[in-house]
Structure 1
Amino acid sequence: MVCTVERCAVATVNPLLVPSTLPYGLPDFSAIRDEHVMPALQEALRRHKAEIDTIAHDPTTPTAMNTVVALEQSGQDLSRVVGYFYTVAGADATDERLRIEGEISPLLAQHTDDMYMNADLFSRIDTVFHSLSESLGDLAPLAEKTQIPLADVEAETSALVRRYHELFLRHGAGLDAAAQARVREINAELSRLSSDFGDTLLKDTQARAVHITDEAELEGVEESQKAFFADTARAAGKDGWLIPLGLPTVQPILEQLARPDVRARIYDASLQRGGQKNETIAQRMALLRAEKAELFGYRTHAELVISDETARTPEAALQLLTDLAPAAVRNAERERAELLPVAQADGCTTLSAADWPYYAEKVRAAHYSLDSAELKPYFRLRNVVEQGVFRTAEILYGLRITKRDDLHGYTPDTDVWEVTDATTGEGLALLLTDYFTRPTKRGGAWMNSIIDQNALLGQKPIVINVLNLTPAPAGEDTLLTLDEVETLFHEFGHALHGMLSKVIYPLFSGTNVPRDFVEFPSQFNEMWALHNDTLPVYATNAAGDTIPPELVEKVRAAQKFGQGFATVEYLAACIIDMAWHTLTRDGIRALGEDIDVAAFETAALQRAGLHVEGIAPRYRTRYYQHIFSNGYSAGYYSYLWSEVLDADTVDWFNEQGGLVPEAGQRFRKMILSRGGSIDYMTAYRDFRSRDKDVTPLLRRRGLV
């Protein structure tokens, strides 16, 4: 074929550097290859730098529109590349994508530093900040373009100016040249180390999958689970069964395994993930973070981070943790006293951390006549998603969620859904769902945005929910545990926060809120998993029978059982996070290079009164992806902080009558749609008509 100029030009266009023509700007995953990523990123960085330079050297008087709004409009190519790459790199982390990520991370870190430490740009932003009322005079065209009242545009733009000014200062704009240079060095190294930590954990987790060759070792395991382990082994070129490992310390399969030696093997494999290499990386990251905090005038990394959260201080966050610890430990000790005789009757001399889940399941079955296996036939994935998760949101928020078979995700089992307004038919968002585990998928469950909603650029959101569910054999229903059902509702709560956003600026869109607020909508959404208005609709077996009311009552009666264990393992993980990040730089240096990390963790837990025999922290340092790879450093407390709001909100919805559209619309308007454009606790106070109350949380966790 003759290559005309036109054909050659088309052939060489990088699909990441042009807006997608698909609905909502969905990336054309079939057209994008890994080799497109680095050239696209380099060109997008070049373009964004040029845009920044134009803004920084604009000869006209700085205004909100020509400086801060202009900055917010810039970097669209970069957002497209980054949104695509980190979506596929997390959910399908091939060796090539891990290599690319290692190249991308330091480039993005350097680019971020270049922008926030640009003296000319900050000078203009500082001028706008200090003459804010005078700087808002040219926003009328934006109000007309977006069809948003001018007063609302001015209010959100004022918030945007204040936030950018704060971000520039928090990234080093106010530091002297020497301090800025050191911050750049620290950021570059932290970016590399964070990527290394995550890559090491992923590869080591894959390598430590437990290989079983004798079926007798799988005594107690459900047949569908065995079939999955056999399929996993075949895919890895092995005979027998291969048990992959999940993210937390306690692996779910421990509940089923009758053989204590096999439980011990799996538990030990879980503990070893990441190894000495990740412990060394973690200590180095903690030291660098502490040094960076000092450069910004803070004693510790936790002080620096939490000053930008709703908790404001590490002391406030720690107070919540330590207030709950004594009651949680008492509950856990009571649970242990119940489990120990059952374990001893099986020949165990003590109750180890590997054995606790198995005997907890046995006691739950005995005390509440509840076997988790009884529930699974009623928790069929498709029904849970469409008749549970989606239907609940449709009723509460006036939505319609429809599968788009004409659109495709990044893997064959990634589905695409369109979310529309049920009354007007207006398209609101696209949702991608990627539910099944694969060897290249990172552990855990998450939501992320490919495109953030914003009126400034006229963009509607594209969000993704990712889980690690075990698929059923071909032709069979995928059956879920109650934990997995709650995870589906949780991650969709994050998705709703992104999809129902209604803001002007991308910086404020959806889940772009403090970490100790972002978990509030997601945790609240879990309330519908077992609610009387929802459960009978989606919890049906293959014959069409609804879950029996007596089984539901057993589940509810058993809900507080195990709360001691769950609360202690969570609080313990929070304390380990804080133990690293409330140390000063000198404090970390004093630990020495040959620190026994396990002893460091144990000492921190004992100081907090959280040492319970048989309960390990939900995450330990060497595989603590949240704080050393996922941006939650000094922030794992956020789940509990948000749960205070969540539990209080659950009470409010029940007071309103449950699944009531009017209640949902109030929550949507006052919380979900506002994103980061609000003062969070003021917004909550307005929604609830009073300050938050911790009592519903204490009651939920059986602490009162």
Structure 2
Amino acid sequence: MTTENPFFSASTLPYELPPFADLREEHYLPAFEAGMAQQLAEVAAIAADPEPPTFENTIEALERSGAVLARVSLVFFNQSASDTTPGVQQIEAGISPRLAAHRDAIHLDPALFARVDALYAQREELRLDAESDYLLARYHARFVRAGARLGEAEQARMRELNGELATLETQFEQNVFADTRAAALILDSADELAGLSADAIAAAEENGRALGHDGKFVISLKNFSNQTELAGLDDPTVRRRLLTASLGRGTESNGGLAVRMATLRAERAALLGFASHAAYEVADQTAGTTAAVDEMLGRLVGPAVANARREAAALAAEAGVDAIEAADWQYWSEKVRKARFDFDGSVMRPYLELEAVLRDGAFFAAGQVYGIGFTERPDLVAYHPDARVFEVSDADGTPIGLFIGDFHARESKRGGAWMNELVKQSHLLGQLPVVVNNLNIAKPPAGDPVLLTWDEVTTLFHEFGHALHGLFSDVRYPLVSGPEVPRDFVEYPSQVNEMWADWPLVLGNYAKHHVTGEPMPAELVARMKEAANFGEGFRTVEYLAATLLDWAWHTLPAGTDPGDAQAFEAAALERYQVAMDEIPPRYRTGYFGHIFSGGFYAAGYYGYIWSEVLDADTVEWFKGNGKTVRESGEIFRRELLAKGGSTDAMAAFAAFRGRAPEIAPLLVRRGLVA
């Protein structure tokens, strides 16, 4: 690794921020190849060590291995999501199966596993500290779940399955990216956008210009089904065109891929002794069993559908029709909110300007709850001009890490909102965290304010919660740093952080008219909260339909032929009793990237509502524990956020909360009890 390549050595920038000014696309592939070769050599040395295995010469050595590969992977996959190019997509398509093979080469190395297995067998005699003991257990589970105990023929098949799945998952993601852009709604005149706010119309015109459609108005699609503009568009024909475009993505390009991936995942689970991919995945989550997930979802479906049907009747009555259509639901829902609660969501937008929401909202709340501060660092270059770098410091001035905010939509960014890490916190490696938040807020014409919807405000606070989870990590080992927690636990800290969006002190600090500076009227806030429960039926059914669709794909036993993807989807929704023509699933199979692009949420989309049980219970604790917000924040940070994945997740919750979680607060929040 003597070739000039910024990935070959640790960055000398503050907090080891990647040297983006020096990085080029041509650096990626050589760094991946050199990084894999380096780590395989390091792993071979660990496996061949003539000394008996110890925690230091085996587990800790594994934690130190692969530095170059870690650096390039974190940067590359952030760019592939945030600012892709045809070249990046080509690299991703080629490198994904090679990375899968690389992971298999490590996890299926018999000599290496023998050392890990021997250490695990003598855990009690080793008398490790709690974090090291838990890390050893995680390593052992990772090897076993990867197939380390399988026979030679089964391991060979495992390698084939992982390689093909990596290829298919990348292809699925790239198809969604292409289909979503191709399906953007192009309109000829502003009249067709009647009902949207003036700034939203201006943003659509600016989007048209940016995409090469000068003089036209373009609505680019978000990654979910029900596009936010449906709530405002007066023209029913335009609403139908928009929803049809949204629901049709991936129908042709991804249906067959989804079938193939579900089949391969089921086969892989069977090789490892599990009845389904869902059983395999959930065994390593806080839920533990598919029965536990079934029980929770079963409690929610009936009340949610009943609630949604009541909402549908109210919408139909307001619209003067026998039954409401899917494309009209959000539009008439806004009408009912206005009629019943004298609340119009669009009236909030002038009070929700992005910079104020960020600095006087999310940053201010973090200061009030945790005592931390943010200083923008324009001298530090991020990966795109839209991405801004902030240094984060503790109450006593101690450096915590860097936060990068990348809030605007662009043609090169995938849809949705997410958090990435560019540097993982680790005392072992002497690293502080560098974390990224990505949103997809439409960029207005230059000089115009960026006004948000309330949903976008909530999303910003949500993703910032993920960022805080990474920033507050205080662990020794990178494998358990920050959000490296069970998948059905990872959304919990981010969902808790949403509570500060409408906390009176915080809301009053940022919700001010972008022209006059007047605070948002108290009665508007009160009406918003009063109206909040209307629509919970829709939101819960929309979410549950996607969750149960994921569950249907991944509870298939090995050898089952799902058949046609669309037919399978329709049958699954009927079987789980969440099929409502008026409420499409939040994600349909063809663009359900959570479960088919990389598979992080495969058989795990239930984790959002599983985590929300913990979240709702925690919000009640913040409100009623008798402590100040600052005192409560310190407890939550110390007992939960700082732990990362270094301890059992539910044990961490119990230590913080003083008991196991209760579901009642969630049922009340979702309007599923009287």
**TM > 0.5:** yes
**For the Cα contact (< 8 Å) 1:317–1:637, is it kept in 2?**
yes
What are the residue-to-residue correspondences of 1:131-210 with 2, within 5 Å?
Answer: 131-135=122-126, 154-210=129-185
Q: Which residue, 293, 299, 302 being the options, matches 2:269? A: 293
1:611-626 to 2 correspondence within 5 Å? 611-626=579-594
Letter in 2 for 1:297: G
Q: Which residue of 2 aligns with 1:369?
A: 342
Match of 1:585 in 2: 558
Cα distance in 2 for residues equivalent to 1:325 and 1:261: 32
Deviation (angstroms), 1:170: 0.4
Partner of 2:566: 598
8 Å CA contact retained: 1:228, 1:471: yes
Q: 1:100 aligns with which of 73, 82, 91?
A: 91
How many angstroms does 1:611 deviate by? 2.3
Say whether the 8 Å CA contact 1:333–1:612 is kept in structure 2: no
Q: Answer yes or no: is the 8 Å Cα contact 2:255–2:566 preserved in 1.
A: no
**Structure 1 residues 111 and 331 mapped into 2: Cα distance closer, same or farther (>3 Å)?**
same
Give the conservation status (yes or no) of the 8 Å contact 2:208–2:216: yes
Cα pair 2:617 2:666 within 8 Å, conserved:
yes
Listed as ranges, the matches of 1:348-359 within 5 Å are 350-359=323-332
- Counterparts of 1:453 and 1:349 in 2: how far apart (Å)? 57
2 CA distance for matches of 1:19 and 1:641? Answer: 38
1:552-610: CA deviation from partner (whole Å, max 9, x where unpaired): 100100110100000000000001000110111233x2x44xx2x33322222222221
Deviation at 1:246, TM superposition (A): 0.6
Equivalent of residue 428 in structure 1, options 390, 400, 403? 400
- Whole-angstrom distance in 1 between the partners of 2:5 and 2:193: 50
State the match for 1:629 in structure 2. Answer: 597
**Equivalent pair of 2:435/2:467 in contact (CA under 8 Å):** yes
Which one of 517, 522, 527 corresponds to residue 494 of structure 2?
522
Matching of residues 242-257 of structure 1 within 5 Å: 242-257=218-233
CA contact (8 A) 2:409 2:442 kept: yes
Hey, what does 1:533 align to over in structure 2?
A: 505
Q: Give the 3-state SS of the residue equivalent to 1:340 in structure 2.
A: helix
Report deviation, 1:133. Answer: 4.1
SS across alignment from 1:128: helix
- Note if 1:219 corresponds to 2:194: yes
Shift of 1:657: 5.6
- Distance in 2 separating the partners of 1:698 and 1:489: 22
Q: Determine if contact 1:335/1:564 at 8 Å carries over to the other structure.
A: yes
Q: Report the alpha carbon displacement of residue 466 of structure 1 after superposing the two structures with TM.
A: 0.2
* Corresponding residue of 2:640: 671
SS in 1 for 2:634: helix
On the 8 A contact 1:208/1:245 being kept in 2, the answer is yes
1:629 Cα offset (Å): 0.6
SS at match of 2:390: strand
Match runs of 1:55-134 below 5 Å = 55-134=46-125
Q: Is the 8 A contact 1:533 1:659 kept in 2?
A: no
- TM-fit CA distance, 1:341: 2.0
Aligned to 2:670: 701
Identity across matched positions, percent: 47
Structure 1 residue 692, shift from structure 2 partner: 0.7
Matches within 5 A, 1:419-458: 419-423=392-396, 425-458=397-430
DSSP-derived class of the 2:327 partner: coil
Q: Distance in 1 between matches of 2:341 and 2:140?
A: 56
Shift of 1:134: 4.2
1:545, 1:659 → 2: CA distance?
28
Work out the CA distance in 2 between the residues paired with 1:481 and 1:219.
17
Deviation, structure 1 residue 402: 1.0
Aligned to 1:263, the other structure's residue is in SS state: helix
Deviation at 1:349, TM superposition (A): 5.7
Q: 1:496-527: CA deviations, max 9, x gaps?
A: 11000001100110000001111110001101
Q: CA deviation at 1:656?
A: 3.3
Tell me if the contact between 2:231 and 2:332 (Cα under 8 Å) persists in the aligned partners: yes
Does residue 650 (structure 1) correspond to residue 626 (structure 2)? The answer is no
2:575 match: 607
Counterpart of 2:275, as a letter, is R
| Residue 405 (structure 1) aligns with | 378
1:497 is matched with 469
> In the alignment, does 2:549 pair up with 1:576?
yes
Compute the displacement of 1:223 (Å). Answer: 1.7
CA distance in 2, matches of 1:240, 1:26: 40
Give the TM-score normalised by the residue count of structure 1.
0.94
List structure 1 segments (4+ residues) > 3 angstroms apart after TM superposition: 133-136, 656-659
Contact 1:395 1:659 in 2 (8 A): no
- Mark the CA change 1:658 to 1:600 in structure 2 (over 3 Å): closer, same or farther: farther
Residue 411 of structure 1 aligns to a residue whose secondary structure is: coil
Whole-Å separation in 1 of the counterparts to 2:626 and 2:119: 47
For residue 657 of structure 2, the aligned residue among 675, 684, 688 is 688
- Give the corresponding residue for 1:17: 8
Tell me the distance in 1 between the aligned counterparts of 2:343 and 2:86. 43
Q: Where in structure 2 are the equivalents of 1:269-418 lying within 5 Å?
A: 269-344=245-320, 350-418=323-391
Q: 2:27 aligns with which of 33, 36, 46?
A: 36
Q: Secondary structure at the match of 2:451?
A: coil
CA distance in 2, matches of 1:224, 1:658: 42
Contact 2:422–2:436 (Cα < 8 Å) also in 1: yes
Q: Which amino acid aligns with 2:582?
A: G
Q: Following TM superposition, by how much is the alpha carbon of 1:173 offset from its aligned partner in structure 2, in angstroms?
A: 0.5
- Residue 285 of structure 1 and its aligned partner are, at CA, apart by 0.1
- AA partner of residue 214 (structure 1): S
After superposition, the C-alpha distances for 1:469-506 in whole angstroms (9 at most, x for unaligned) are 01232222211111000001100110111000001100
> What CA distance in whole angstroms lies between the structure 1 residues aligned with 2:111 and 2:33?
23
Determine the C-alpha separation between the residues in 2 that align with 1:682 and 1:134: 23
